Amino acid sequence: SQQGEEDPQALSIQEGENATMNCSYKTSINNLQWYRQNSGRGLVHLILIRSNEREKHSGRLRVTLDTSKKSSSLLITASRAADTASYFCATDYGPNQGGKLIFGQGTELSVKP
């Protein structure tokens, strides 16, 4: 299976703290993406990092990619209660795979006010 793995499965922190989630995958990728899912809602795209990139920032989000270790991490700085959600990494193996995304199991983040 190409499915990635995420850890931790659940993370509970206080507002203002940083949250780090990790993702590992099995075969070479075209890009890796992170998505957020609020309870009962659809997924929202957060950030995409290409296989030739090592780090990317978007607001309070920082994503790193280590292709030698086949792993990525998502850091959310200065977390807020509104960041409470499930976070998924998704790997894209390129147009030859029809653009399909392979999702990890997700990390459930709870930010307490």
Partner 1 sequence: DTAVSQTPKYLVTQMGNDKSIKCEQNLGHDTMYWYKQDSKKFLKIMFSYNNKELIINETVPNRFSPKSPDKAHLNLHINSLELGDSAVYFCASSQAGAGEQYFGPGTRLTVT
Kindly state the smallest distance separating residue 31's Cβ from partner 1, in Å: 5
Of the pair 41, 57, the CB lying nearest partner 1 is at 41
Of the pair 46, 76, the CB lying nearest partner 1 is at 46
Q: Following DSSP, what letter does each residue of the chain receive, concatenated?
A: ----EEE-SEEEEETTS-EEEEEE-SS--SEEEEEEE-TTS-EEEEEEEETT-SEEEETTEEEEEETTTTEEEEEE-S--GGG-EEEEEEEE--GGGTT-EEE---EEEEEE-
**Interface with partner 1 by CB under 8 A: which residues?**
30-31, 33, 35, 37, 40-45, 48, 86, 88, 92, 95, 97-103, 105-106
Kindly state the smallest distance separating residue 43's Cβ from partner 1, in Å: 4
Kindly state the smallest distance separating residue 105's Cβ from partner 1, in Å: 6
Strands 19-24 and 43-50: unpaired
Kindly state the smallest distance separating residue 86's Cβ from partner 1, in Å: 6
Of the pair 40, 113, the CB lying nearest partner 1 is at 40
